[in-house]
Structure 1
Amino acid sequence: MVKPMKKSPVEAVRDFFDAFHAQDSIALDQSMADNLMLFSYIKSRSKGNSMEKASKSDFMNSILNIPENMTFKETLIEISHTTFEDIATVHTTYEFHVNGQFSHSGVNVFTMVYYNDKWLITGITDTRNMLY
């Protein structure tokens, strides 16, 4: 039996975003480590700067509880990655739109490990540059 080609970390991040936009809980769950943590640095003119921390289950719940009448799209602008053996980081700049309107932009940093024949996201840190 021929083993499938190893995906790149960038392909794994693109798959994560496909699942994110489809609100596919199974694919999202399988793309992330169980003990994944997310950190967000939010820069807001009116509210000041803040840091938020979320667990994998917090993140999953927030995605799955988006109302059906709301559309959202995170467009990746630039993507780069660094890989050493079975560890990788993927950096992306992005723009986020809600119901077709620009919401914010920022940078994502994904830390990843190649585990059980796939790239698994172990951590996500992002910045959110809010307009307000």
Structure 2
Amino acid sequence: MKKTIFLLHLLVFSFSIAAFSQTDEEKVEAVIESLFDGMRAKNAEQVAAAFSPEAIMQTIAAKPEGTTVASSSVGDFAKRIGSTPAETQLDERILEYQIKVDGALASVWTPYRFYLNGNFSHCGVNSFQLVKMAEGWKIVYIIDTRRKEPCEE
């Protein structure tokens, strides 16, 4: 009987520890969610904290003359977010997370819809590359597409 009770307690203890520990996939998703929460709050420090200092940001733009890729720095992006007027609402809504992790590398595909002041602005896909560093998962590369349609629901 004592052995059964001991094993039962051990089993419950194991489940409780597992409930409090996050998988790498959950940690990666939390970094990306923190980035977009920071955008909504217009918190430049929170936005910048999601990235490694040397991160690369790019956007693919389809234009009549052809596809272009525009680059920006994390510092400039965070500064723009932080200086957004108080009355302006930024809301990037992630529709789905497709996360792949191999050791210290994570790749994430996130279709999204972006709203400006509550109105649909554009949609697209973000492609993130994250690396697990001493301080945790950090975004080292993001490239996104932007279009008006067709958009996922």
Say whether the fold is shared (TM-score over 0.5). Answer: yes
**Deviation of the 1:112 alpha carbon:** 0.4
Match of 1:84 among 102, 105, 117: 102
Q: Which has the higher contact order (CA 8 A, sep 6+)?
A: 1
Tell me if 1:17 matches 2:57.
no
**Deviation of the 1:58 alpha carbon:** 1.5
1:73-122 Cα shifts (integer Å, max 9, x gaps): 10111111110001101110000011111100000011101111411111
Whose strand fraction is larger, Structure 1's or Structure 2's? 1
Percent pairwise identity: 25
> Which contiguous aligned blocks of 4+ residues in structure 1 show a shift greater than 4 angstroms?
none
Q: Which has the larger radius of gyration?
A: 2
Q: TM-score, normalised by structure 2?
A: 0.75
Match of 2:79 among 54, 58, 61: 61
Q: TM-score, normalised by structure 1?
A: 0.85
Q: Which runs of 5+ in 1 are unaligned?
A: none
SS of the aligned residue for 1:29 comes to helix
CA–CA distance in 2 between the matches of 1:128 and 1:94?
9
